[in-house]
A and B are shown apart, each in its own frame.
Chain A
Amino acid sequence: GQQVMQIPQYQHVQEGEDFTTYCNSSTTLSNIQWYKQRPGGHPVFLIQLVKSGEVKKQKRLTFQFGEAKKNSSLHITATQTTDVGTYFCAGLWGAQKLVFGQGTRLTINP
Protein backbone atom coordinates (compact mmCIF):
# COMPACT_ATOMS: atom_id res chain seq x y z
CA GLY A 1 0.00 0.00 0.00
CA GLN A 2 0.96 3.64 -0.07
CA GLN A 3 3.56 4.66 2.46
CA VAL A 4 5.23 7.86 3.49
CA MET A 5 8.61 7.57 5.21
CA GLN A 6 9.55 10.42 7.50
CA ILE A 7 12.97 11.09 9.01
CA PRO A 8 14.40 11.64 11.49
CA GLN A 9 12.20 10.08 14.15
CA TYR A 10 13.66 12.35 16.85
CA GLN A 11 15.58 15.61 16.79
CA HIS A 12 16.95 17.52 19.74
CA VAL A 13 18.31 21.01 19.15
CA GLN A 14 19.48 24.01 21.08
CA GLU A 15 17.12 26.94 20.97
CA GLY A 16 18.06 29.11 18.02
CA GLU A 17 19.31 26.21 15.88
CA ASP A 18 17.56 25.18 12.69
CA PHE A 19 15.51 22.02 12.25
CA THR A 20 14.48 20.01 9.20
CA THR A 21 12.26 16.96 8.75
CA TYR A 22 11.90 15.03 5.50
CA CYS A 23 9.18 12.91 3.95
CA ASN A 24 9.51 10.50 1.06
CA SER A 25 7.06 8.48 -0.97
CA SER A 26 7.87 5.80 -3.53
CA THR A 27 4.97 6.94 -5.70
CA THR A 28 3.74 10.32 -6.88
CA LEU A 29 1.47 12.15 -4.48
CA SER A 30 -1.57 14.29 -5.30
CA ASN A 31 -0.59 16.61 -2.50
CA ILE A 32 1.07 16.60 0.89
CA GLN A 33 -0.10 18.10 4.14
CA TRP A 34 1.84 18.95 7.30
CA TYR A 35 0.55 18.79 10.85
CA LYS A 36 1.95 19.71 14.25
CA GLN A 37 1.07 17.92 17.46
CA ARG A 38 2.03 19.62 20.71
CA PRO A 39 2.83 17.35 23.67
CA GLY A 40 -0.46 16.04 25.06
CA GLY A 41 -2.41 17.58 22.19
CA HIS A 42 -3.89 16.50 18.90
CA PRO A 43 -2.51 17.09 15.40
CA VAL A 44 -3.25 20.51 13.96
CA PHE A 45 -3.08 21.30 10.26
CA LEU A 46 -0.23 23.58 9.20
CA ILE A 47 -0.23 23.66 5.42
CA GLN A 48 -0.91 21.83 2.17
CA LEU A 49 1.38 21.67 -0.87
CA VAL A 50 -0.09 20.77 -4.22
CA LYS A 51 2.17 21.87 -7.07
CA SER A 52 5.42 20.34 -8.19
CA GLY A 53 8.36 22.29 -6.74
CA GLU A 54 6.08 24.38 -4.54
CA VAL A 55 7.62 26.34 -1.66
CA LYS A 56 5.53 27.99 1.03
CA LYS A 57 6.56 29.96 4.09
CA GLN A 58 4.87 30.62 7.38
CA LYS A 59 7.09 32.96 9.40
CA ARG A 60 10.09 30.80 10.37
CA LEU A 61 8.67 27.63 8.74
CA THR A 62 9.48 26.76 5.12
CA PHE A 63 7.71 23.91 3.37
CA GLN A 64 8.85 22.38 0.10
CA PHE A 65 7.33 19.88 -2.30
CA GLY A 66 9.70 18.06 -4.63
CA GLU A 67 9.67 18.43 -8.38
CA ALA A 68 8.55 14.83 -8.79
CA LYS A 69 5.92 15.23 -6.03
CA LYS A 70 7.45 12.30 -4.15
CA ASN A 71 9.18 14.14 -1.33
CA SER A 72 8.69 17.10 0.94
CA SER A 73 10.46 18.89 3.73
CA LEU A 74 9.71 21.23 6.60
CA HIS A 75 12.47 23.56 7.75
CA ILE A 76 12.28 25.69 10.86
CA THR A 77 14.76 28.56 11.14
CA ALA A 78 16.01 29.60 14.57
CA THR A 79 13.85 27.30 16.66
CA GLN A 80 11.98 28.58 19.68
CA THR A 81 10.61 26.63 22.63
CA THR A 82 7.12 27.04 21.19
CA ASP A 83 8.19 24.84 18.25
CA VAL A 84 8.38 21.77 20.50
CA GLY A 85 6.15 18.94 19.33
CA THR A 86 5.82 16.21 16.74
CA TYR A 87 5.61 17.16 13.09
CA PHE A 88 3.78 14.86 10.70
CA CYS A 89 3.58 14.86 6.96
CA ALA A 90 0.58 13.22 5.31
CA GLY A 91 0.46 12.19 1.69
CA LEU A 92 -2.66 12.12 -0.42
CA TRP A 93 -3.23 9.67 -3.24
CA GLY A 94 -6.49 10.10 -5.12
CA ALA A 95 -9.20 12.15 -3.50
CA GLN A 96 -9.75 11.32 0.12
CA LYS A 97 -7.31 9.05 1.90
CA LEU A 98 -4.41 10.64 3.74
CA VAL A 99 -1.49 8.47 4.84
CA PHE A 100 0.67 9.86 7.63
CA GLY A 101 4.40 9.57 8.08
CA GLN A 102 5.81 8.32 11.37
CA GLY A 103 6.41 11.85 12.61
CA THR A 104 9.48 13.71 13.84
CA ARG A 105 9.54 14.59 17.50
CA LEU A 106 11.33 17.89 18.11
CA THR A 107 12.68 18.75 21.53
CA ILE A 108 14.51 21.98 22.29
CA ASN A 109 17.06 22.90 24.91
CA PRO A 110 16.36 26.48 26.02
Chain B
Amino acid sequence: DVKVTQSSRYLVKRTGEKVFLECVQDMDHENMFWYRQDPGLGLRLIYFSYDVKMKEKGDIPEGYSVSREKKERFSLILESASTNQTSMYLCASSFPRLAGGYENTGELFFGEGSRLTVL
Protein backbone atom coordinates (compact mmCIF):
# COMPACT_ATOMS: atom_id res chain seq x y z
CA ASP B 1 0.00 0.00 0.00
CA VAL B 2 1.08 3.54 -0.70
CA LYS B 3 2.11 5.36 2.39
CA VAL B 4 2.34 9.11 2.70
CA THR B 5 3.62 10.13 6.10
CA GLN B 6 3.41 13.61 7.54
CA SER B 7 5.79 14.31 10.38
CA SER B 8 3.37 15.93 12.83
CA ARG B 9 -0.35 15.47 13.32
CA TYR B 10 -0.72 18.50 15.57
CA LEU B 11 1.45 21.57 15.97
CA VAL B 12 1.03 24.76 17.96
CA LYS B 13 3.30 27.65 17.04
CA ARG B 14 3.55 31.33 17.83
CA THR B 15 3.21 34.18 15.37
CA GLY B 16 6.51 34.84 13.66
CA GLU B 17 7.95 31.39 14.21
CA LYS B 18 9.42 29.40 11.34
CA VAL B 19 7.50 26.20 10.75
CA PHE B 20 8.54 23.08 8.85
CA LEU B 21 6.03 20.48 7.75
CA GLU B 22 7.60 17.31 6.43
CA CYS B 23 6.09 14.75 4.09
CA VAL B 24 7.56 11.44 2.96
CA GLN B 25 6.12 8.96 0.45
CA ASP B 26 7.30 5.44 -0.18
CA MET B 27 5.90 4.74 -3.67
CA ASP B 28 8.51 6.45 -5.81
CA HIS B 29 5.92 8.98 -6.99
CA GLU B 30 7.20 11.82 -9.12
CA ASN B 31 4.49 14.28 -8.10
CA MET B 32 4.03 15.70 -4.63
CA PHE B 33 1.58 18.33 -3.44
CA TRP B 34 0.79 20.50 -0.45
CA TYR B 35 -2.81 21.52 0.15
CA ARG B 36 -4.48 23.37 2.97
CA GLN B 37 -8.02 22.51 3.98
CA ASP B 38 -10.36 25.03 5.56
CA PRO B 39 -14.10 24.65 6.23
CA GLY B 40 -16.18 25.75 3.27
CA LEU B 41 -13.13 26.27 1.07
CA GLY B 42 -12.24 22.70 0.23
CA LEU B 43 -8.65 21.83 -0.53
CA ARG B 44 -6.54 24.64 -1.93
CA LEU B 45 -3.23 23.93 -3.62
CA ILE B 46 -0.24 25.71 -2.11
CA TYR B 47 2.68 24.23 -4.08
CA PHE B 48 3.40 21.14 -6.08
CA SER B 49 6.51 19.43 -7.40
CA TYR B 50 6.79 17.07 -10.33
CA ASP B 51 10.47 16.23 -9.87
CA VAL B 52 13.36 16.61 -7.48
CA LYS B 53 14.34 20.26 -7.06
CA MET B 54 11.36 21.33 -9.19
CA LYS B 55 8.45 23.27 -7.76
CA GLU B 56 5.40 25.08 -9.06
CA LYS B 57 3.18 27.58 -7.30
CA GLY B 58 -0.36 26.54 -6.68
CA ASP B 59 -3.30 28.82 -6.03
CA ILE B 60 -2.25 30.20 -2.63
CA PRO B 61 1.58 30.21 -2.39
CA GLU B 62 1.93 33.49 -0.51
CA GLY B 63 3.61 33.06 2.86
CA TYR B 64 4.86 29.56 2.02
CA SER B 65 7.89 27.98 0.42
CA VAL B 66 8.78 24.37 -0.34
CA SER B 67 11.81 22.16 -0.69
CA ARG B 68 12.27 18.91 -2.56
CA GLU B 69 15.85 17.71 -2.29
CA LYS B 70 14.96 14.02 -2.53
CA LYS B 71 12.25 12.33 -4.53
CA GLU B 72 10.48 10.88 -1.51
CA ARG B 73 10.43 14.03 0.62
CA PHE B 74 8.55 17.30 0.15
CA SER B 75 8.73 19.96 2.82
CA LEU B 76 6.45 22.94 3.38
CA ILE B 77 7.99 25.94 5.09
CA LEU B 78 6.25 28.85 6.73
CA GLU B 79 9.01 31.44 7.07
CA SER B 80 7.09 33.56 9.59
CA ALA B 81 3.88 31.96 10.75
CA SER B 82 0.76 34.10 11.01
CA THR B 83 -2.62 33.41 12.59
CA ASN B 84 -4.30 33.18 9.17
CA GLN B 85 -2.13 30.16 8.45
CA THR B 86 -3.93 28.18 11.14
CA SER B 87 -5.30 25.27 9.12
CA MET B 88 -5.15 21.60 8.26
CA TYR B 89 -2.27 20.89 5.88
CA LEU B 90 -2.45 17.86 3.63
CA CYS B 91 0.41 16.37 1.68
CA ALA B 92 -0.27 14.15 -1.32
CA SER B 93 1.68 12.26 -3.95
CA SER B 94 0.91 10.68 -7.30
CA PHE B 95 2.37 9.29 -10.46
CA PRO B 96 2.26 11.78 -13.31
CA ARG B 97 -0.72 11.52 -15.58
CA LEU B 98 1.43 10.49 -18.52
CA ALA B 99 4.51 8.46 -17.71
CA GLY B 100 6.57 6.07 -19.76
CA GLY B 101 4.00 5.95 -22.52
CA TYR B 102 1.25 4.89 -20.11
CA GLU B 103 -1.58 7.09 -18.95
CA ASN B 104 -1.75 6.73 -15.18
CA THR B 105 -4.77 7.72 -13.21
CA GLY B 106 -2.88 10.45 -11.44
CA GLU B 107 -4.91 9.74 -8.34
CA LEU B 108 -3.63 11.47 -5.26
CA PHE B 109 -2.59 9.56 -2.15
CA PHE B 110 -2.91 11.76 0.91
CA GLY B 111 -1.17 11.79 4.24
CA GLU B 112 -3.10 11.96 7.50
CA GLY B 113 -2.76 15.73 7.68
CA SER B 114 -1.03 18.18 10.00
CA ARG B 115 -3.25 20.49 12.00
CA LEU B 116 -1.35 23.70 12.63
CA THR B 117 -2.49 26.30 15.13
CA VAL B 118 -0.71 29.65 15.14
CA LEU B 119 -1.24 31.71 18.28
Contact = CB atoms under 8 A, between A and B. Distances in A.
Interface of A: 1, 6, 9, 30-31, 33, 35, 41-45, 48, 88, 90, 92, 95-103
Interface residues of B, number: 27
26 contacts: A1-B59, A30-B97, A33-B105, A33-B107, A42-B110, A43-B108, A48-B105, A48-B106, A88-B42, A88-B43, A90-B108, A95-B97, A95-B98, A96-B50, A96-B96, A96-B97, A96-B106, A97-B45, A97-B48, A98-B33, A100-B35, A100-B44, A100-B45, A102-B40, A103-B42, A103-B43
Interface in B13-64: 31, 33, 35, 40-45, 48, 50, 56, 58-59
- Chain A contact residues: helix, strand, loop or mixed: strand
A42, A95, A97: residue with the most chain B Cβ atoms closer than 10 Å: A42
Interface in B89-109: 90, 96-98, 105-109
Q: Which 3 A-B pairs have the closest CB atoms?
A: A45-B107, A102-B42, A100-B43
